[in-house]
Amino acid sequence: MQIRMHKRSLFAGTFLCFTLVGSQVWSQTATQGTDSGSDATALEKLVVSTSENAEDSHADAADRSQSIYISRDDLAITDPQDLKEVFAGDAAVSVGGGMTTTQKVYVNSIDELNLAVSVDGVQQNNRVFHHHTTNYVDPTLLKSVRVDPGVAPADAGPGALGGSIIYETIDVADVLEEGKDFGGFAQLSFDTNSSTFTEAGSLYGRKNGFELLGYIKYAAGDDFTAGNGWTIPGTAPDVLSYLAKGAWQSLDGHRIEIKAQQIKDDALRPYRANFGGLSSTEPETRRYDLTQRNFSASYGIEGAEGLFDPNIVIGYSDATTSVPTYFNKGGATNVFIDSKGVAKTWSGKAENTFHLDDRNTITAGVDFYTTDSEYTDVNTIDGLSERATNAGFYGQARLEPLDKLRLSFGARGDNQWFEGLDGTKIDNFGLSGNVYAAYDINDFITINAGYSNVFGGIDLEENFVFNGSWDYSGLEPVRAQNLTAGVEFNYEGLQLTGGIFQTEFRNFRENASNKDFNTQGFNLGLGYNWEDGSVRVSYSNSELKVEDGHVSSYTAGDMGMPVGQVISAQVVHTFNQHGLTLGTSLDAALDYDGTQKAGGLPLPGYTVVNAFAEYKPAQLPNLTLRLEANNIFDEEYSDRATYGADYDSVTSVRELYEPGRSFLLSAKVRF
């Protein structure tokens, strides 16, 4: 407790110092059609647009036809506190887990473990312990997110079995005011449900082509209360996050960048962190010490044209989880075993994009990864470990042979060397291919379709379930097929989208054996932009099955989650003359009986309504004040992507609920 209070005092003092200097957190871009001198927030990209995104040089390509973009403008408007809020605008992406440290991302019901996930180009391997999060990402650090559901291009990286997720963190240019060489921002927020204070601060600057950015955030509070009035033990936040970035860019665009990032959570959590509880004599909580780190170095040429547009990235990522005790059911006591799981990955790529002209490109390159997964405790002094090394080569062509037709097709070749717990070595080589087409029927309607067949090698198993007696002799490399098709209508700010998808996994690894599963369904979207605001609604219907039919949340394991029907909606409007932005959002799921067919309970539906107001006083242009009302009607629910809602909570697992009604107050300043 003394440490927590010391950190809080330190951050509060830092925030007050920043406040004296003053300013707002993010520079804002005026909405098209408004006065360029306005402080209005840019709203164009609140409706998912696959045709324009400033952060993606291939945004117009056919393989982006169904990509989900979350831009820096979107993030500035929603001001997300966790990954659930980052992806809240699109029903095709579900985030369950109840709290930040247990949140997991699912795309069209597929677990992110089966997608190619990268942060600033660095591959992530965070498969440590199934009771907590996979990728722990600080939303404040994000510049943009792109999700390629199902069919992913060859340059998305190895292992893009069910698609890819691309996270990019902020650079100095994203936050530094125009005409300045030095700046900073600070943020202080308070959540009423858990009495959580969050303090964040950053300093950044650039001079003579050199850039430097430093950022730190700390959040601490109490256990939150669910909509049923239950204060859930072990849900108090205690998160410390860092980011440091340095870069140099020449006058002709050559750019070298280095980055270091760490997120740490060390606190009491529910005994099985993603459960609300278990009907046994296990203690309510135990300590989890979770650390995730990313380091990277990259080289490229900003705004490159012609036949030389290189991109070189090398990086390291790791995830460490320490759990000091386990419960001995026979003795009904805690036993000290100091268990520790570590997943670490070195990865890199070197590629070049050949710009044949303004509309046609070919990207070709090579990449690699070496990933290790290790487990140790007092009973396994020497530890247990698995390792996989992969070397790949790839190419992706993005062409426009006709004015109305866009094509994208590519291929990969990957050779993987796998080593098991007992020293078993398995080598596999596989080819992957993808093809995508988009055709403009007229000025308003575009149709698209894509297909991919992807080799994934043998994935490392979660290290907390390692078993030294595994027999690897029958283990096969995983392969996935994806099929998507869709249509998009755009007219004077109105956008209608619809798409179907099907993904089939063959030889998905489960411990030392293989199994098959598939997911299929469809997504619908509606959006409308007006001069100072927008509305968007999305609907997703997905079904996850194994060979013998429907799955429970337990059977789904690391494959995915039985999500069913989900609805998301957002409305935002800015009153420029008053410096006021108002918004509301809806998160809903319909009843789902697939888990009942699998032998469990059906999943109940829910409807959650949120709202926010953001104010920028004309007298204090450097200050932004925000008030959020979350779960306004105090709904008792666990997110559809949360494990365990299909169990009987009296005799078995009690699911981890989401927080009940809460109010978040925040102040942001920039100088």
- Residue-wise pLDDT for 439-472, tens only, equals 999 999 999 999 999 999 999 999 999 998 999 9
Residue 46 has pLDDT above 50, yes or no: no
Report the distance separating Cα 585 and Cα 568, nearest Å.
7
| Long-range contact pairs involving 277-281 (C-beta distance under 8 Å, separation at least 24) | 277/649, 277/653, 277/654, 278/652, 278/653, 278/654, 279/650, 279/651, 279/652, 279/653, 279/654, 280/329, 281/327, 281/329, 281/332
> Which residues have C-beta within 8 Å of that of residue 46, sequence separation ≥ 6?
73, 74, 77, 89, 527, 529, 534, 536, 570, 572
State whether residue 578 is helix, strand or coil.
Answer: helix
Residue 497 has pLDDT above 50, yes or no: yes
Domain 2-670 has CATH 2.40.170.20: yes
Give the pLDDT of residue 13.
38
Residue among 541, 537, 611, 540 nearest 569 (CA): 537
Give the pLDDT of residue 282.
80
Per cent of the chain over pLDDT 70 is: 91
Give the pLDDT of residue 293.
95
Give the pLDDT of residue 331.
65
What integer is the mean pLDDT of 128-151?
Answer: 92
Report the distance separating Cα 77 and Cα 90, nearest Å.
15
- Which pTM does this prediction carry? 0.90
When comparing pLDDT for 555 and 15, which is higher?
555
Tens digits of residue pLDDT in 585-640:
999 999 999 999 999 999 999 999 999 999 999 999 899 999 999 999 999 999 99
Q: Are strands 116-119 and 122-123 parallel, antiparallel or unpaired?
A: antiparallel
Residue 84 has pLDDT above 80, yes or no: yes
Average pLDDT, the chain: 89
Domain regions of the chain by residue span: 2-670
Phi-psi group of 649: left, alpha or beta (phi > 0 → left; psi -120 to 50 → alpha; rest → beta): alpha
Give the pLDDT of residue 663.
98
What integer is the mean pLDDT of 323-352?
Answer: 84
What integer is the mean pLDDT of 423-428?
Answer: 96
Give the pLDDT of residue 37.
38
> Which residues have C-beta within 8 Å of that of residue 413, sequence separation ≥ 6?
392, 393, 394, 429, 430, 431, 432
Give the pLDDT of residue 569.
96
Distances (CA, A) of 568 to 41, 202, 452, 640, 642: 21, 32, 28, 12, 17
Report the distance separating Cα 356 and Cα 351, nearest Å.
16
Residue among 238, 248, 294, 242 nearest 268 (CA): 238
Report the distance separating Cα 262 and Cα 123, nearest Å.
15
Instruction: Please tell me the least confidently modeled range out of 204-213, 450-459, 641-650.
Output: 641-650
Tens digits of residue pLDDT in 267-304:
999 999 999 888 777 888 999 999 999 999 999 999 89
Cβ atoms of residues 193 and 662 within 8 Å: yes
Report the distance separating Cα 667 and Cα 664, nearest Å.
10
Over its C-alpha atoms, the chain yields an Rg (Å, rounded) of 24
> Which residues have C-beta within 8 Å of that of residue 195, sequence separation ≥ 6?
221, 222
Sign of the torsion formed by the C-alpha atoms of 43, 537, 571 and 175 = negative
Tens digits of residue pLDDT in 389-406:
999 999 999 999 999 999
Report the distance separating Cα 488 and Cα 634, nearest Å.
36
Report the distance separating Cα 597 and Cα 599, nearest Å.
5
Cβ atoms of residues 592 and 613 within 8 Å: no
Grade residue 56 by pLDDT with cuts at 50, 70 and 90. Answer: confident
Residue 375 has pLDDT above 60, yes or no: yes
